[in-house]
Chain A
Amino acid sequence: MEPNLERLVPACVREFEPYIPSKPDHELRKLYGCDRLYRLNNNENPLGPPPGAQEVIRRFPPPLGAVYPSGDSYDLRGEIAAFHGIHPDQVLVGNGANEVISFVIKAFCEPGDNIITADRTFAVYEWVAVFSGIEARVVPLKEERFDGPAMLGRIDDATKVIFLCNPNNPTGTYWSRDTLVAFLEAVGGRQIVVVDEAYFEFVEAGDYPDGVSLIGAYPNVVAFRTFSKMYGIAGLRIGYLAGDRNVVDMIRRTCVVYSVNGIAQAAALACLRDDTGHIARTRELMRQSRAFLREELGRMGLPVICGEGNFLIVKLPGSDTLAYRKLMHEGVMIRPMTGFRYPNHIRVTLAGMEAMEAFIRALKKILA
Chain B
Amino acid sequence: MNAANRDPDAVLAMQLEARPSFLGVVTGFVDSAARAFGMGREETLKIGLAAEEIFSFACERICPGKPVDIRCRDGKYFMGVAFRFPVSALDMGALNITASARCDREEDLEETGLILASRSVDRLRIDPDGRDRVRLSVEKDKSYPPAPEESPAPAAFRGTVAAATPDGEALKRYVIQASHLSPGPFLPDFFRYPGKVVDMAAAGDVQAIVAADETGRVAGGILFRFLTERVVEILGPHVFDPPATEKVAAGLLDACIARTARTKAIGLVSLTGLPGPVRSQFESLGALTLFEKGGRASERPAWYRLLHEDPGCVVWTDGALGEFLQGEYGRLFLAREIREVRDLGETRSGSSIFSAEVHRERSEAVLRPLWPGGDLAANLERHVRFLGEEGFLNLLFELDLGVSWHASLVPVLLGRGFRPGMILPFAGQADLVVFQYHGTEP
Chain A contacts to B: CB under 8 angstroms: 2, 11-12, 14-17, 20, 22-23, 27-28, 30-32, 119, 123, 126-127, 317-319, 321-322, 324-326, 328-329, 335-336, 338-341, 343-344
Q: Does A339 contact B308, Cβ atoms closer than 8 Å? A: yes
Task: Give the one of A127, A336, A343 with max B CB within 10 A.
Answer: A343
Q: Does B309 contact A336, Cβ atoms closer than 8 Å? A: yes
Residues of A within 8 A of B261 (CB): 338-341, 343
Chain B contacts to A: CB under 8 angstroms: 2-4, 130-131, 230, 253-254, 257-258, 261-266, 280-283, 305-312, 332-337
Residues of B within 8 A of A326 (CB): 333
Residues of B within 8 A of A324 (CB): 309-310
Residues of B within 8 A of A27 (CB): 312
Residues of A within 8 A of B283 (CB): 319, 322
Q: Does B310 contact A321, Cβ atoms closer than 8 Å? A: yes
Residues of B within 8 A of A319 (CB): 280-283, 305-306
* Beyond A31-B336, A319-B282, 10 extra complex contacts between A and B, CB < 8 Å: A15-B3, A17-B264, A127-B262, A318-B280, A321-B310, A325-B332, A328-B335, A338-B305, A339-B261, A343-B261
Quick one: closest A residue to B282, CB to CB? A319
Return the contact of A338 from the options B307, B312, B332, B337 (Cβ within 8 A).
B307
Q: Does A15 contact B280, Cβ atoms closer than 8 Å? A: no
Return the contact of B262 from the options A12, A28, A339 (Cβ within 8 A).
A339
Cα(A341)–Cα(B266), bound, Å: 13
Q: Does A322 contact B305, Cβ atoms closer than 8 Å? A: yes
Quick one: closest B residue to A323, CB to CB? B333
Return the contact of B280 from the options A30, A31, A127, A317 (Cβ within 8 A).
A317
Quick one: closest A residue to B283, CB to CB? A322
Return the contact of B258 from the options A15, A28, A341 (Cβ within 8 A).
A341
Q: Is the interface of A mostly helix, strand, loop or mixed?
A: helix
Task: Give the one of A12, A22, A317, A322 with max B CB within 10 A.
Answer: A322
Task: Give the one of A30, A126, A321, A326 with max B CB within 10 A.
Answer: A321
A343 with B337, Cβ < 8 A, contacts A17-B263, A338-B308 known: no
Residues of B within 8 A of A336 (CB): 308-309
A322 with B333, Cβ < 8 A, contacts A341-B258, A343-B281, A344-B281 known: yes
Q: Does B309 contact A321, Cβ atoms closer than 8 Å? A: yes
A31 with B312, Cβ < 8 A, contacts A17-B263, A17-B264, A338-B261 known: yes
Quick one: closest A residue to B330, CB to CB? A329
Min CB gap B410→A, angstroms: 23
Quick one: closest B residue to A325, CB to CB? B333
Quick one: closest A residue to B280, CB to CB? A318
Q: Does B311 contact A23, Cβ atoms closer than 8 Å? A: yes
21 A-B contacts (beta carbon < 8 Å) = A2-B131, A11-B4, A15-B2, A15-B3, A17-B265, A20-B308, A28-B335, A30-B337, A31-B336, A31-B337, A319-B282, A319-B306, A325-B310, A325-B333, A325-B334, A338-B257, A338-B307, A341-B257, A341-B258, A343-B261, A344-B281
Cα(A273)–Cα(B332), bound, Å: 49
Cα(A20)–Cα(B333), bound, Å: 19
Cα(A324)–Cα(B310), bound, Å: 8
Quick one: closest A residue to B258, CB to CB? A341
Residues of A within 8 A of B264 (CB): 15-17
A31 with B262, Cβ < 8 A, contacts A15-B3, A324-B309 known: no
Quick one: closest B residue to A4, CB to CB? B130
Cα(A308)–Cα(B243), bound, Å: 38
Return the contact of B335 from the options A15, A31, A344 (Cβ within 8 A).
A31
Min CB gap B13→A, angstroms: 14
Quick one: closest A residue to B337, CB to CB? A31
Please provide the 4 A-B residue pairs with the shortest distance between their CB atoms, ordered closest to farther.
Answer: A17-B264, A31-B335, A321-B306, A325-B333
Residues of B within 8 A of A317 (CB): 280
Task: Give the one of B265, B283, B336 with max A CB within 10 A.
Answer: B283
Cα(A339)–Cα(B308), bound, Å: 6
Cα(A119)–Cα(B261), bound, Å: 11
Q: Does B3 contact A14, Cβ atoms closer than 8 Å? A: yes
Cα(A23)–Cα(B306), bound, Å: 17
Cα(A316)–Cα(B3), bound, Å: 34
Min CB gap B67→A, angstroms: 16
Cα(A11)–Cα(B257), bound, Å: 23
Min CB gap A348→B, angstroms: 14
Residues of A within 8 A of B3 (CB): 11, 14-15
Min CB gap B328→A, angstroms: 13
Cα(A335)–Cα(B336), bound, Å: 20
Quick one: closest B residue to A344, CB to CB? B281
Residues of A within 8 A of B262 (CB): 123, 126-127, 339, 341
Task: Give the one of A2, A11, A15 with max B CB within 10 A.
Answer: A15
Cα(A319)–Cα(B283), bound, Å: 8
Residues of A within 8 A of B281 (CB): 318-319, 343-344
Residues of B within 8 A of A123 (CB): 262
Q: Does A343 contact B253, Cβ atoms closer than 8 Å? A: yes
Q: Does A321 contact B305, Cβ atoms closer than 8 Å? A: yes
Cα(A338)–Cα(B312), bound, Å: 18
Cα(A30)–Cα(B262), bound, Å: 28
Q: Does B258 contact A119, Cβ atoms closer than 8 Å? A: yes
Min CB gap A142→B, angstroms: 14
Residues of A within 8 A of B337 (CB): 30-31
Cα(A2)–Cα(B334), bound, Å: 35
Min CB gap A113→B, angstroms: 15
Min CB gap A156→B, angstroms: 18
Quick one: closest A residue to B230, CB to CB? A17
Q: Does B333 contact A339, Cβ atoms closer than 8 Å? A: no
Cα(A344)–Cα(B305), bound, Å: 11
Cα(A341)–Cα(B257), bound, Å: 7
Q: Does A15 contact B130, Cβ atoms closer than 8 Å? A: no
Quick one: closest A residue to B308, CB to CB? A339
Quick one: closest A residue to B313, CB to CB? A31
Residues of A within 8 A of B311 (CB): 20, 22-23
Task: Give the one of B262, B265, B307, B310 with max A CB within 10 A.
Answer: B262
